[in-house]
């Protein structure tokens, strides 16, 4: 992460699905990032723990809400394994590997905001131009991205968790997620090693993207690459009959 953070002049990190602050600690301690950071956590008990720990320290803030395509309220499925909690319904149809952890412990109503709203209204985000977006939202990545609307152009890089074995009803497959992110103007940049214990039945993996606009401005791509990528995505999309 040090390379894209430096190359793209990241001036704010949106840690969406902050859990207990593991990613925030990573970028602070390992990446040595000292800029603005907003941790978004929708599970009430985890948001409370973050509030008591460090999220509201210097340069950091906590947004205790979910993100989606539109603002409002939604029912969050809090799972036995809290890290699997999702706005989507759990499903063990494809695999029973995480069946115990992926059972609903409780359902809670949560506030839903949007990326556009946070980036436009939050004091730490209003002046930011180079946003790094980390998504860990258990199958809800695309609604979160669609909620960025006209603020999507401020996101210069992002990482998302892509599903191989679906753990939720209606979750997009990894190739659907990656295709849709590329159609939003991003290019796949890096797929790190995720979890070596997930062999041969890998459940998910992280994938990192950089905006094509940023790659072009830094001289890594020619401008024609954007047109070629859009044409390729259109040709690969199944045709309706």
Q: Which residue has the tokens 């115990």?
A: 100
Report the predicted TM-score, pTM, of the whole model to 2 decimal places.
0.90
Could you please report the per-residue DSSP string of 68-110?
A: -SSSEEEEEEEESSGGG-BSSPB--SS--TTTTTTSEEEEEEE
Digits of tens for pLDDT over the chain (241 positions)? 899 999 999 999 999 999 989 999 999 999 999 999 999 999 999 999 888 776 456 789 999 999 999 999 999 999 998 889 999 999 987 777 777 888 889 999 999 999 999 999 999 999 999 999 999 999 999 999 999 999 999 999 999 999 999 999 999 999 999 999 999 999 999 998 666 676 777 888 999 999 999 999 999 998 876 666 555 555 555 554 4
Q: What is the 3-state secondary structure (H, E, C) of 184-216?
A: CCEEEEECCCCCCCCCCCCCEEEEEEEEHHHHH
């Amino acid at each position: 992460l040090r390379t894209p953070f430096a190359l793209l002049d990241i001036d704010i990190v949106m840690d969406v699905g902050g859990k207990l602050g593991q990613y925030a600690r990573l970028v602070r301690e390992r990446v040595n990032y000292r800029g603005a950071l907003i941790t978004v956590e929708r599970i009430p008990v985890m948001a409370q723990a973050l509030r008591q720990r460090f999220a509201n320290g210097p340069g950091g803030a906590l947004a205790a809400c979910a993100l989606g395509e539109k603002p409002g309220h939604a029912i969050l499925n809090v799972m036995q394994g809290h890290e699997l909690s999702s706005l989507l319904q759990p499903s063990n149809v494809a695999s029973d590997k995480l069946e115990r952890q992926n059972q609903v412990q409780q359902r809670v109503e949560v506030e839903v905001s949007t990326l556009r709203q946070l980036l436009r209204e939050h004091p730490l985000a209003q002046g930011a131009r180079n946003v790094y977006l980390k998504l860990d939202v258990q199958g809800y990545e695309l609604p979160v991205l669609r909620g960025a609307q006209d603020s999507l152009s401020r996101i210069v890089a992002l990482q998302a968790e892509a599903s191989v074995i679906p753990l939720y009803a209606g979750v997009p497959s990894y190739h659907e997620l990656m295709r849709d992110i590329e159609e939003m103007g991003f290019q796949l940049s890096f797929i790190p090693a995720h979890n070596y214990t997930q062999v041969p039945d890998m459940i998910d993996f992280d994938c990192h993207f950089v905006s094509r606009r940023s790659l072009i401005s830094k001289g890594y791509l020619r401008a024609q690459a954007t047109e070629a990528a859009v044409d390729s995505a259109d040709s690969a999309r199944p045709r309706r009959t």
